Amino acid sequence: MSVTIAQLPTTFSSPMIASKLPDVGTTIFTVMSQLATDTGAINLSQGFPSFDPPQELLERINYHLCNGANQYAPMAGVPVLRTAIAEKTNRMQGRDIDSDHEVTVCCGATEGLFSAIQTVVRVGDEVIVFDPAYDSYEPAITLAGGITRNIPLSIDDGFDFAVDWQQLTDTVNDKTRLIIVNFPHNPTGAILEAADLDRLADIVRDTDCFLLSDEVYEHIVFDDEPHRSLLGHDELWARTMVVSSFGKTFHATGWKIGYCIAPKYLTDEFRKVHQFATFSINTPMQFGIADFLSSNPEFYEQLPAFYQDKRDYFCGLLDGSRFKLRPAHSTFFQVVDYSEISNEADLDLAKRWTREMGVASIPLSVFCEKPFTGRRLRFCFAKDDATLAAAAEKLRAL
């Protein structure tokens, strides 16, 4: 006879769980996507494309899936993929990377970020993040026993977000173990100028502080600006772990495959964590991506133009609406100011508009430690034109 849980005697006691993350709820991306599904709203909240990865890439993965690449990959990633990542990095950033000792394939950027944080953060260490900060950083810091120090990005002209270097200088102290930066920036689309990298180098020089650079939107920068990676800067590279994701680059957020590039002494320690977080990443995907990365560099080279067209199309559709905006400098997100339409708090409004108006978005305040009173929402424009047009029609009517 099978015994179901419901039939167990109720007298068994269960231990109390003291939450390790008492202040953490379900991530806003899951909350808003679920609400969009439940209400049938157009989902411009969670960032994922409405189109497929390139056909040739799918064929390469399918080939490896059907031709024996189905057992464990090496812990650090298959050598051909690590080599392809190193070659791409060399082409794009002029950095000569040792693919054997400085590249690790990860289970999406999320695992790369998590493992990187566990690698360097010890109990009582301080970690600086810039608000609005992507929501996976702080829980990983807390689980490592670290203390998060939030610095708000400054806002120029109401639209351009940037690091306040003076505030960073004032915040760094003997306990600062790590600074996490994320440019191209989700959710604001901010990017770094060349002088910013020098300012950062001035601040961390003569400290014991490492840098973690979340560069998942490395190939989505607009208006002919380059992506300025921290690993392109000699002095910063010596203390930086750069994390990226193929999810953004290949329109494949569900694949959860990314990588961490760091100097050998950091990669050695990073791999000690990574190997027990996940051990290795799915094998046919790694071989397929390696083939495609090497044979089709034009795919990621044309990504800025592809997404810039989408940005311009979406922003053009909002012309004549009561939203105020400045076209994003990067990423596939557009932040808009809704202060002429409503004074409601952004989280409440995002949920209400999903239910009542039929378009889901992401509020910015959830990424900020201090109350963020700006009336801003983030829309994802990685969608086919018909979806963007249908959403914009509703937004223009507000």
Q: What does the binding site for ligand GLN look like in residue numbers (CB under 6 A)?
A: 27, 29, 46-47, 186
Q: Are 355 and 35 in contact (CB under 8 A)?
A: yes
- Name residue, tokens 């808003």: 32
Tell me whether residue 53 or residue 258 sits nearer to ligand PMP (CB atom): 258
Neighbours of 265 (CB within 10 A): 12
- The two three-digit tokens of residue 329, written as one number: 């400098």
CA-CA-CA-CA dihedral for 310, 352, 357, 355, to nearest 10: 100
- The two three-digit tokens of residue 98, written as one number: 């040792």
Told to check if 216 binds ligand PMP by CB under 6 A, we report yes
User: Binding marks (x or -) toward ligand PMP, 93..132, rule CB under 6 A?
Assistant: ---------------xxx----------------------
Tell me whether residue 186 or residue 365 sits nearer to ligand PMP (CB atom): 186
Q: Are 239 and 250 in contact (CB under 8 A)?
A: no
Told to check if 382 binds ligand PMP by CB under 6 A, we report no
245 binds, among ligand PMP, ligand GLN, none (CB under 5 to 8 A by kind): ligand PMP
Point out the residue whose Cβ comes nearest to ligand PMP: 108
Q: Where are the alpha helices (DSSP H) in the chain?
A: 28-39, 55-66, 79-93, 108-120, 137-143, 165-171, 194-204, 234-237, 246-249, 264-277, 283-295, 297-301, 303-317, 346-356, 385-396
Find the shortest distance in angstroms from Cβ 103 to ligand PMP.
Answer: 16
Told to check if 242 binds ligand PMP by CB under 6 A, we report no
Told to check if 138 binds ligand PMP by CB under 6 A, we report no
83 binds, among ligand PMP, ligand GLN, none (CB under 5 to 8 A by kind): none
Told to check if 283 binds ligand PMP by CB under 6 A, we report no
- The two three-digit tokens of residue 255, written as one number: 């694949």
Told to check if 189 binds ligand PMP by CB under 6 A, we report no
Restricted to residues 38-57, the positions that interact with ligand PMP (CB under 6 A) are 47
Find the shortest distance in angstroms from Cβ 46 to ligand PMP.
Answer: 8
**Helix, strand, coil % over all residues of the chain, rounded to 5:** 40, 15, 40
Q: What is the spatial distance between Cα 40 and Cα 307, in angstroms, rounded to a whole number?
A: 26
296 binds, among ligand GLN, ligand PMP, none (CB under 5 to 8 A by kind): none
Told to check if 214 binds ligand PMP by CB under 6 A, we report yes
CA-CA-CA-CA dihedral for 281, 282, 285, 290, to nearest 10: 40
Find the shortest distance in angstroms from Cβ 316 to ligand GLN.
Answer: 23
Tell me whether residue 110 or residue 150 sits nearer to ligand PMP (CB atom): 110
Q: Are 251 and 51 in contact (CB under 8 A)?
A: yes
Tell me whether residue 181 or residue 236 sits nearer to ligand PMP (CB atom): 181
- Name residue, tokens 């952004």: 346
| Site residues, ligand PMP (CB under 6 A) | 47, 108-110, 134, 182, 186, 214, 216, 245, 247, 253, 256, 258
